[in-house]
Structure 1
Amino acid sequence: MDMHYIRRGSGKPLLLLHGIGGSWRSWQTILPALAAERDVIAVDLPGFGATPPLPGEVSIRTLADAVTEFLRNHDLLGIDAVGSSMGARLVLELARRGGVVGAVVSLDPGGFWRGWEIPTFYYSVAASIRLVRALQPALPTITSTTLGRTLLFAQFSARPWRLAPQVALDELQTFVASPSFDELLHNLAYGEKQLGAPKGSIREPLVIGWGREDRVCFPRQAYRAQELFPDARLYWFEECGHFPQWDKPEETVQVILRVTSGQQLPAGSSPVTQRRPLQPLRAAVLVGSILAVVSGSAWLVTRKHR
C-alpha cells in the first residue's frame, strides 16, 4: 500500500517515522531545520494521520513490511531514517533486516520493557488516550493554556508547558482520530518481542537517543536496547522526556544531521554511569499521580469550558 507523506527541502533524502497515535506533524518542531539541509520525507504510517489502516494485523512486523514496500515503490531503499517512540522501534527493526535503511537515529524506542514495566506502559498510555478521547470537544481550549498542556503532556514531556499550543493540539487530535491505536498499543506491549542484530551486522551509523526523564520508556531500557543492538551508540538527552524533538529540538536536529552525515556527535553524548533503576512502586506512584492529576484538573478545565 502507499502512504500519505509530505516532502520538503532538498539534498540527501531523510525518512521520518512518527510514534503511535502520531502523524508527520509530530515532527513539526524540527521539520524546517531538517529541510534546510536534507530532502525530508515524513510519512503517516498506516492507520494514522491521512493513511488508511492495514487490512490485517497491525504490529511492528507488518508496519515494517509496509514501510519497506513504500521505500521500494518510491526508489528510496537505503534511505537514512529517524524514528520516534514506536517509530524508533520501527527503524531499529528496519536496520536489523538489512538493506532497507541507511544511517539510523532511534529516539526513545519502545519495546524494551520487562516485567512490571509492560503493564505500567500499557495501562498508563491506554488511560491517557481514553482521557483525551473524552476531552475531545474541549481540546482546543485546554491546549491553549499553559496549565492544560502541562497536565495533558506530563507523562510525555519533561517541559510540557513549553510546547506550542498548535503542536499540542495537532498531536492530541491525531491520537483521537487513529483507528489503529488500540490494536497497536496492545501488540507493542504484549505482542512479539523485538529481535536484535548481532554485533557487526549493522554497518551503517546507528544511534539510539534517550531522554533522561522519559516517563514512558524508562531510561534503564536504553541499556537493554543497546544490548540487543551492540553496533549502536547510546546518546543521552539531558532534561528531556519521551520526545527529544519537543524538549530538545535544536540538539535533536544536530544529532540527526551529524549521525546521518557521518560526523562526530556533540560533546555531551559520552555514555554516563547508569543511574539507580526506577523501582516498581516508585514508577507506579509516579504514573498514577500523573494520571490522577491530569484527570482531575482536566475535568475542572472542561467544566469551566462548559
Structure 2
Amino acid sequence: MTLNHVRRGTGKPLLLVHGLGAGWRSWSPIIDELAESREVVAVDLPGFGETPPLTGEVSIATLTDSVADFIREQGLDGVSTAGQSMGGRMVLELARRGVGGDAVALDPGGFWSDRERVVFGATLRPSIVAVRALRGMLPALLGNPVGRTLLLAQLSARPWALSRETVLPDVRGLADSPATGPALDALIKGPKQQGAAAGSVPGRVTIGWGRRDLVTVPRQAARAQELFPDAMLHWFERCGHFPQWDAPHEATRLILDNTD
C-alpha cells in the first residue's frame, strides 16, 4: 500500500507520522515552519486522511510496517522521523527496528501501566463517541473558547487559547477516520511498546513530553527513558498531549535541533 503524503520545502527530508486524528493535517500548525528548513514528508497512515484502511489486522506493528514500506518505496533510507502520540510510538518502534535515522517522539503512547491503559481507554473512547455525535456542530462548538474547553480539556493544557483552525482537523479526523476505532483498540488491547538497548538505534532519539498531558500522563516518560536509554527527554511546560497545538514553536525547534 502506498501512503498518501504531501511534501513541503527543500533540504534533507524529514518524515512526519501523525497520531489518531486528521492524518498529515495534524501537523498543520507547524509543517510550514518545519518546511522552511527541511523537505517535510508527511504521511496519512492507513485509514486516516486519504489513505485507504488496511485490509488485514490493524495493530501498531502493521501500521508501522506500512511506514517502513513507504520509507523503502520512496528511497528514504536513513530518514529522520518525528511523530506525535501513536505516531510518536511508531517512530520509536521504527528506531527499535533499525529503520530511519534520528527520531523525535512527542508524547508517545505505549508506556502506560495496566491501570493507566484502562483509564486511557475509558476516557478517550467516550470522547470519540461524543465528537462523532456532535459531528455537524463541531465548527460552531470549536469556534468559541467555552466549546473548545469542554471538548478538548483532555487534549490541551490551554484549549481556550487555541484557534478553531488549529484543532478542527484533528477533532474531525477522530470522528471521521475509519481507522480511529481499530487503532484505538490496538493501543488499548495490544502489547506495550518494546524498548531498544543502548547503542542499538540508528540515530539520536529525543522524547518530548507535555507536563500537563492527560492522555499519556507525564510519569510514563520515565518508563520510556528506561526502555530507550539512549533517548534525551525534553519537557514542554504548560503543554498537553499535542505540543504542535500548545507549544508549536518549541515543538518545531525540538524537531529541527534533534534531527539531521
Note whether the superposition's TM-score is higher than 0.5. yes
**Aligned-pair Cα RMSD in Å:** 0.9
Distance in 2 of aligned mates of 1:40 and 1:164: 24
Using structure 1 for the length normalisation, give the TM-score: 0.83
2:83 alignment counterpart = 83
Distance 1:186 1:123 in 2: 12
In structure 2, distance between residues paired with 1:28 and 1:164: 12
Taking the aligned partners of 2:164 and 2:29, their CA distance within structure 1 comes to 12
Q: Quote the Cα distance in structure 2 between the aligned partners of 1:42 and 1:203.
A: 21
Tell me whether 1:18 sits opposite 2:40 in the alignment. no
Greater Rg by CA? 1
Identity of matched residues, %? 55
After superposing the two structures, state which structure 1 stretch, 10-19 or 252-261, moved more: 252-261
One-letter amino acid of the structure 2 residue matched with residue 91 of structure 1: V
Residues 38-64 of structure 1: per-residue CA shift (max 9 Å, x gap) = 000111100111110011111110011
Shift of residue 193, structure 1, vs aligned partner: 2.1
- Describe the SS at the equivalent of 2:7: strand
Q: Contact 2:166/2:245 (CA < 8 Å) preserved in 1?
A: no
1:102 aligned counterpart, secondary structure: coil
Partner in structure 2 of residue 97 of structure 1: 97
User: Which range is displaced more, 19-28 or 1-10?
Assistant: 19-28
AA of the residue aligned to 2:253: Q
Post-superposition CA distance 1:250-299 (Å, at most 9, x none): 111111111014xxxxxxxxxxxxxxxxxxxxxxxxxxxxxxxxxxxxxx
Contact 2:103-2:203 within 8 A present in 1 as well: yes
Misfit runs of 4+, over 4 Å: none
Letter in 2 for 1:78: G
Distance 2:245 2:192 in 1: 28
3-state SS in 2 of match to 1:116 = helix
Aligned to 1:199: 198
Question: 1:291 — aligned with what?
Answer: none
Could you say which residue in structure 2 is the equivalent of 1:133?
A: 132
Alignment partner, residue 7 of structure 2: 7
Q: Which residue of 2 aligns with 1:256?
A: 255
Alignment of 1:74-223 (within 5 A): 74-98=74-98, 100-223=99-222
Kindly state the Cα deviation for residue 190 of structure 1 after the two structures are TM-superposed.
1.6
Deviation for aligned residue 1:203 = 4.4
Gaps of 5+ in 2: none
1:48 and 1:133 map into 2 onto residues whose CA distance is 15
State the shift of 1:182 in Å. Answer: 1.1
Aligned-partner Cα distance in 2 for 1:226–1:130: 33
Render the CA deviation track for 1:87-119: whole Å, top value 9, x for unaligned.
000000000000x21101000001111122111
Task: Give the corresponding residue for 1:50.
Answer: 50
Per the TM alignment, residue 139 of structure 1 is displaced from its structure 2 partner at its CA by 0.8
Structure 1 contact 68–77 (Cα < 8 Å) conserved: no
- Specify the code of the residue in structure 2 equivalent to 1:25: R
User: Residue type matched to 2:95 in 1?
Assistant: A
Distance 1:213 1:136 in 2: 27
SS at match of 2:215: coil
For the pair 1:229 / 2:228, whether they are aligned, the reply is: yes
Counterpart residue type for residue 251 of structure 2: T
Q: Gaps (5+ residues) in structure 1?
A: 262-306
Aligned to 1:40: 40
Relative to the length of structure 2, the TM-score reads 0.98
Q: Is the 8 A contact 1:107 1:244 kept in 2?
A: yes
Q: Deviations over 1:134-192 (max 9, x none)?
A: 00111111111111111111000001112211222211111111111111111111212
Alignment match, 1:29: 29
* Aligned mates of 2:135, 2:33 — CA distance in 1: 31
| Kept after mapping to 2: 8 A contact 1:18/1:44 | yes
**Quick one: distance in 2 between partners of 1:59 and 1:203?**
23
Give the Cα separation in 2 of the matches to 1:249 and 1:118. Answer: 27
Count of residue correspondences: 260
Question: Which protein has greater RCO, CA pairs closer than 8 Å, 6+ apart?
Answer: 2
After the TM superposition, which of the residue ranges 74-83 and 200-209 deviates more from structure 2? 200-209
Helix, strand or coil at the partner of 2:40: strand
